[in-house]
C-alpha cells in the first residue's frame, strides 16, 4: 500500500501557530511514505516566512515533495517578481518541479505559479510535455500522481478564474495515464473523478484546503491522507474539529480503477 499525506496552503505569515504541533503529530502518527505540499508555503514570500515554513517542514521525518504557489513569489517587490520570482523558493526549498519515485508510485511536481498574474496560474507547455512523457513511460503498476498548486477545474460558485491552459492540460494528463492530480489554492476540500472533454477515461482530482492558515474561507483547516493499493484509492480528510486544535478524520471517499479510469466505489 502507498500512503501519502497531502497538505496545502500553509501560508506562513498568516498561520495559526497553535496548529503546527498538532499537524506534525498527526502526520507522524499516520506514518506516510511521503508528504506532498501543493503550494503557498508562505503568505508574502519573505525570507522570514520561508525560514519559519521550512523549519516546520524539516521536522517531518519522511520525504517531502513541495511545489510553489502564487503566494510564494514576491507581490510588492515588482523588480524581484519580474527578474527572480522564485529566487527565495530556490534558496529555501529547492526545485520548482520535483520528482519522487518509489516502489509503488511516481509523483511529478508542476509549477503553475505565474509571475505575470496576481492569483491565476498557468500551465507551461514544456513542463506539461515533460510530465506527460514521464507518465507514458510509467506502467499501470505504479500510482501516477501529478502535484500542482492551481486546480485544473474550478467548482461552480467559486470566485476564481480557471488556470490558463487548464482544460488542455487536463486532457493531456488524462490521455498520458495520470491516476491522481493533487492541488490546493481554493482553500476548500474535494475528491472526485474528472473526465476531460472528449476523453473516455477519468482521473481522480483531489483538493486540500488550508493546513494552517487563518484564511479559512468558510471551511476548517484540513489535510488529506491518500491510501492506494492495486486498483483502489481511499482519500481521508482530516480537519480541525470542535476541540479547535486537534486534526480528526472527518470524511473518507473510496475510488476504484476500471477500464474507463477512476470512479467512486460502491462499497
Can you tell me the mean pLDDT for 134-156? 94
CA-to-CA separations, 247 to 34, 111, 239, in angstroms, rounded? 19, 28, 5
Among 68-72, 81-85, 146-150, 188-192, the least confident range:
81-85
- φ and ψ of 119, to 5 deg: -125, -40
Q: pLDDT category, 50, cuts 50, 70, 90?
A: very high
Q: Which residue has the higher pLDDT, 119 or 267?
A: 119
Q: Is 37 a residue whose pLDDT tops 70?
A: yes
What pLDDT sits at residue 253? Answer: 95
- The dihedral sign for the CA sequence 174, 175, 179, 184: negative
Q: Which residue has the higher pLDDT, 198 or 265?
A: 265
What cell was used for 25? 503529530
Q: Residues 70, 114: contact at Cβ < 8 Å?
A: yes
Can you tell me the mean pLDDT for 148-167? 88
What pLDDT sits at residue 209? Answer: 96
Q: pLDDT category, 198, cuts 50, 70, 90?
A: low
Can you tell me the mean pLDDT for 42-64? 97
Look-up of cell digits 513511460: 137
Q: Is 133 a residue whose pLDDT tops 70?
A: yes
What pLDDT sits at residue 81? Answer: 87
Instruction: Please state, in angstroms and rounded to a whole number, the distance separating the CA atoms of residues 10 and 214.
Output: 9
Nearest to 220 by CA among 188, 185, 182, 176: 188
Q: Is 217 a residue whose pLDDT tops 90?
A: no
- Per residue in 61-96, pLDDT (tens digit) is 999 999 999 999 998 888 888 889 999 999 999 999
Q: Is 172 a residue whose pLDDT tops 80?
A: yes
Q: Is 197 a residue whose pLDDT tops 80?
A: no
Instruction: Please state, in angstroms and rounded to a whole number, the distance separating the CA atoms of residues 83 and 115.
Output: 9
Can you tell me the mean pLDDT for 43-69? 97
CATH 3.60.21.10 fits 2-264, yes or no: yes
DSSP structural state of residue 213: B
Q: pLDDT category, 157, cuts 50, 70, 90?
A: confident
CA-to-CA separations, 214 to 121, 209, 244, in angstroms, rounded? 22, 12, 13
Q: Where are the domains of the chain?
A: 2-264
What pLDDT sits at residue 53? Answer: 98
Can you tell me the mean pLDDT for 127-145? 96
Q: Is 18 a residue whose pLDDT tops 80?
A: yes
For the chain, the average pLDDT equals 94
| Residues forming a β-bridge with 193 | 204
Q: Is 224 a residue whose pLDDT tops 70?
A: yes
What cell was used for 109? 511536481
Helix (H, G, I), strand (E, B) or coil at 208: coil
pTM for this predicted structure: 0.96
Q: Is 10 a residue whose pLDDT tops 90?
A: yes
Among 76-80, 92-96, 212-216, 218-222, the least confident range:
76-80
Amino acid at each position: 500500500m502507498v500512503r501519502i499525506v497531502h497538505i496545502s496552503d500553509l501560508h506562513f505569515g498568516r498561520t495559526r501557530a497553535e496548529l503546527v504541533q498538532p499537524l506534525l503529530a498527526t502526520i507522524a502518527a499516520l506514518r506516510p511514505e511521503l508528504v506532498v505540499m501543493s503550494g503557498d508555503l508562505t503568505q508574502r514570500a519573505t525570507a522570514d516566512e520561508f525560514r519559519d515554513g521550512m523549519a516546520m517542514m524539516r521536522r517531518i521525518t519522511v520525504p517531502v515533495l513541495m511545489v510553489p504557489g502564487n503566494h510564494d513569489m514576491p507581490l510588492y517587490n515588482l523588480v524581484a517578481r519580474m527578474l527572480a520570482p522564485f529566487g527565495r523558493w530556490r534558496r529555501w526549498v529547492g526545485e520548482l518541479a520535483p520528482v519522487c519515485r518509489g516502489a509503488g508510485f511516481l509523483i511529478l511536481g508542476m509549477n503553475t505559479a505565474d509571475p505575470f498574474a496576481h492569483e491565476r496560474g498557468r500551465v507551461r507547455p514544456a513542463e506539461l510535455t515533460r510530465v506527460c512523457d514521464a507518465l507514458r513511460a510509467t506502467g499501470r503498476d505504479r500510482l501516477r500522481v501529478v502535484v500542482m498548486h492551481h486546480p485544473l477545474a474550478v467548482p461552480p460558485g467559486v470566485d476564481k478564474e480557471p488556470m490558463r491552459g487548464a482544460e488542455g492540460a487536463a486532457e493531456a494528463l488524462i490521455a498520458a495515464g495520470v491516476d491522481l492530480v493533487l492541488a490546493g489554492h481554493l482553500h476548500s476540500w474535494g475528491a472526485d473523478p474528472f473526465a476531460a472533454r472528449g476523453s473516455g477515461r477519468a482521473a481522480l482530482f483531489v483538493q486540500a484546503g488550508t493546513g494552517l492558515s487563518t484564511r479559512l474561507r468558510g471551511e476548517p483547516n484540513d489535510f488529506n491522507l491518500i491510501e492506494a493499493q492495486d486498483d483502489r484509492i481511499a482519500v481521508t480528510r482530516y480537519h480541525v474539529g470542535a476541540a479547535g486544535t486537534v486534526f480528526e478524520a472527518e470524511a473518507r471517499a473510496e475510488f476504484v480503477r476500471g477500464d474507463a479510469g477512476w470512479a467512486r466505489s460502491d462499497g
